[in-house]
């Protein structure tokens, strides 16, 4: 759920961000895009909608991944696409929190997503994963391969298991049928190392999720080091950064752990961070299908190099000399090492002996002044009798290449940063919305979608509706309530007004909230000021999403299947609430939290509608 805010950017800024990421020989020139196969559950920074909320439901226009894949392909038709599920809708497990009891159902569900990508969006998915960072099931993987083939999807490759090197490597060595259907072993945060069993499988080895580090200069150093050393130390020929672009509220978990930052669609502000240009050192001068040369890539004075060729005479060498303090990733812990200034001599032999000059691209990360030099073209290096020498300092990246196509491109500075508007309204009155979700709402449990209320007499035809009615097969600790956040985490005093419509009889309920302090994988422990009304005619004010810390309760007269207006006002240490414009409760004392987002949501996984949302902060 990390590209949530990207879709709301106005042009030209949205296209500029996409160009920095995907346009060949422009910025990051990415080779591969991995997306979540939404499953209605919390996957780190929010929920992504499933293409099948219910068993009899199919919709290939929800969420933003279809759009993102199309934008990537539009810029680079050769980009590789991967889909991987984190969560699954409840019906897959028939009541159990487990996707493998009915492996034929799960395989049908995943293959439907791949077929939908092709049928509705003309997208060819290249690789599909099993279940992010959770158990794999050999029977399911074989059935997935069988189901793919049955639907003519022989070209879709399977990657497993998006967790650790073991037990998948060991199981592949034992089970020859499984060995035949898994194309690549994907490990997460391998710390540039692999294991003997993985090498013995002779499979492609991938770091299929890595980086996940704050995108300052140290994050760039981490990324430079692992892009090389995942191959040098661990024989990995693909490294995939979580995440593509930090387009989610920064105070959610792992804020700004993207290759660049685009978390202000309301202002148009974005920032091309250093990891974008570190990426370019590799991606602009190699392509999928190029081969790593099997050389020992450790440099004597510390640091590393890799060499790649297209097999047609082109050669690219990438060198990095990242120091220990300046290249620590978020995980795993990094063993200490030293890097010193050094002179390195490279010898080109065989068919590369004829190379006379190499183009040079250089970056130097500066940790004192913060004035790094990023992806600059230097004078070409002359190769004399098959060799050349370079003086290498610390925290540098060099690319030496026969290719002359490299470019450092850019756009004029985007608008300056601005906080989220302090007066914000959405009436959801949009007949053909470009996306299924309303702008800036970040769902943290449940899924909130635009809805057309055909039976409504007029005021509430177009609404926002919570549509997940059974707890999904979860990946994280989703809440027992549904919640969608919006606004500015630093907000203190605010008035939140929203029309609400409880659909569930007897025990249905909805809330509006302010000073909401948590989301993502921590959503269960969310605190704030929550104003609830229930179908049984009662109301509550609580200090938490779980509803355990009761600050006030009483009768409201609210009924299900009738529209009501809730207003929550928070000023300093005091809160009050109105129902349909009349005071319902007041002077409730608030101690914690001192600030946070606004939010709407429901008491359980239940249908409910919201309209005419308005926050003044």
Residue 23 makes CB contacts below 8 A (sequence gap 6+) with 29, 75, 76, 409
Residue 325 makes CB contacts below 8 A (sequence gap 6+) with none
d(CA 262, CA 257): 11
Task: Report CA 564 to chain centroid distance, whole Å.
Answer: 36
Tell me the pairing of strands 157-163 and 184-188. parallel
d(CA 198, CA 534): 55
With b for 16 or more beta-carbon neighbours within 10 A and e for fewer, the 182-207 pattern comes to bbbbbbbbbbbebbebbeebebbbbb
CA dihedral 55, 59, 60, 62 (to 10 degrees): -110
Residues facing 130 on adjacent strands: none
Task: Report CA 490 to chain centroid distance, whole Å.
Answer: 23
How many CB atoms within 10 Å of residue 105?
A: 17
Q: Which two tokens stand for residue 499?
A: 């029309």
The alpha-helical segments, DSSP class H, found in 254-369 are 274-283
d(CA 24, CA 250): 28
d(CA 419, CA 491): 10
Residue with tokens 């007066």: 423
Residue with tokens 């004035």: 371
CA-closest candidate to residue 459, choices 563, 321, 344, 615: 563
d(CA 35, CA 539): 40
How many CB atoms within 10 Å of residue 298?
A: 13
d(CA 255, CA 489): 12
Residues facing 247 on adjacent strands: none
How many CB atoms within 10 Å of residue 438?
A: 22
Residue 596 makes CB contacts below 8 A (sequence gap 6+) with 489, 491, 514, 515, 516, 517, 527, 528
Task: Report CA 27 to chain centroid distance, whole Å.
Answer: 19
Catalytic residues: 133, 209
Residues facing 288 on adjacent strands: 290
How many CB atoms within 10 Å of residue 515?
A: 27
Residue 134 makes CB contacts below 8 A (sequence gap 6+) with 163, 475
């Amino acid at each position: 759920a990390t590209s949530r805010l990207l879709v709301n950017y106005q042009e030209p800024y949205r296209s500029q961000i996409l160009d920095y990421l995907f346009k060949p020989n422009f910025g990051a020139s990415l080779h591969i895009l991995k997306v979540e196969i939404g499953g209605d559950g919390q996957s780190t920074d929010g929920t992504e909608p499933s293409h099948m909320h219910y068993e009899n439901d199919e919709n290939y226009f929800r969420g933003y991944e279809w759009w993102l894949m199309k934008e990537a392909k539009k810029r680079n038709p050769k980009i590789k696409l991967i889909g991987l599920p984190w969560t699954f809708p409840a019906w897959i497990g028939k009541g159990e929190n487990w996707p493998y009891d009915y492996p034929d159902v799960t395989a049908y569900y995943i293959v439907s997503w791949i077929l939908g990508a092709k049928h509705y969006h003309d997208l060819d998915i290249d690789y599909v994963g099993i279940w992010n960072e959770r158990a794999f099931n050999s029977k399911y993987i074989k059935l997935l391969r069988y189901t793919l083939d049955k639907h003519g999807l022989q070209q879709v490759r399977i990657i497993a298991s998006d967790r650790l090197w073991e037990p998948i490597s060991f199981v592949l060595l034992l089970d020859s049928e499984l060995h035949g259907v898994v194309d690549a072993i994907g490990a997460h945060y391998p710390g540039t190392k692999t294991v003997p069993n993985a090498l013995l499988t002779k499979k492609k080895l991938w770091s299929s999720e890595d980086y996940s580090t704050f995108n300052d200069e140290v994050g760039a150093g981490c990324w430079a080091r692992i892009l090389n050393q995942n191959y040098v130390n661990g024989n990995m020929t693909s490294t995939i950064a979580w995440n593509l672009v930090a387009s989610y509220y920064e105070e959610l978990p792992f804020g700004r752990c993207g290759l660049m930052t685009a978390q202000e669609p309301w202002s148009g502000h974005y920032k091309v961070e250093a990891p974008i240009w570190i990426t370019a050192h590799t991606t602009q001068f190699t392509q999928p299908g190029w081969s790593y040369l099997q050389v020992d890539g450790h440099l004597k004075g510390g640091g590393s190099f890799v060499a790649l060729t297209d097999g047609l005479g082109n050669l690219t060498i990438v060198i990095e000399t990242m120091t220990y303090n300046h290249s620590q990733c978020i995980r795993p812990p990094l063993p200490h090492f030293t890097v010193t200034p050094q002179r390195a001599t490279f010898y080109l032999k065989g068919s590369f002996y004829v190379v006379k000059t190499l183009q040079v691209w250089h970056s130097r990360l500066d940790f004192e002044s913060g004035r790094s030099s990023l992806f600059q073209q230097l004078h070409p290096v002359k190769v004399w009798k098959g060799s050349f020498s370079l003086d290498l300092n610390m925290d540098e990246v060099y690319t030496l290449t026969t290719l002359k196509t490299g470019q450092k491109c850019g756009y004029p500075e985007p608008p300056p940063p601005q906080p989220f508007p302090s007066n914000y309204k959405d009436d959801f009155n949009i007949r053909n919305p470009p996306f299924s979700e309303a702008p800036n709402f970040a769902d943290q449990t449940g899924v909130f979608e635009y809805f057309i209320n055909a039976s409504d007499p007029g005021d509430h035809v177009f609404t926002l509706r919570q549509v997940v009615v059974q707890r999904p097969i979860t990946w994280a600790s989703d809440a027992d309530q549904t919640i969608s956040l919006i606004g500015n985490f630093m907000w203190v005093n605010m008035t939140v007004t929203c029309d609400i419509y409880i659909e569930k009889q007897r025990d249905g309920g909805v809330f509006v909230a302010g000073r909401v302090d948590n989301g993502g994988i921590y959503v269960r422990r969310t605190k704030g000021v929550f104003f609830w009304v229930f179908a049984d005619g009662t109301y509550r004010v609580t200090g938490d999403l779980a509803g355990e810390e009761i600050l006030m309760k009483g009768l409201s007269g609210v009924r299900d299947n009738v529209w009501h207006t809730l207003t929550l006002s928070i000023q300093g240490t005091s809160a009050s609430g109105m129902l349909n414009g009349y005071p319902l409760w007041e002077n409730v004392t608030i101690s914690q939290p001192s600030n946070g987002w606004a939010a709407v949501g429901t008491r359980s996984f239940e249908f409910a509608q919201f309209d005419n949302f308005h926050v003044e902060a």
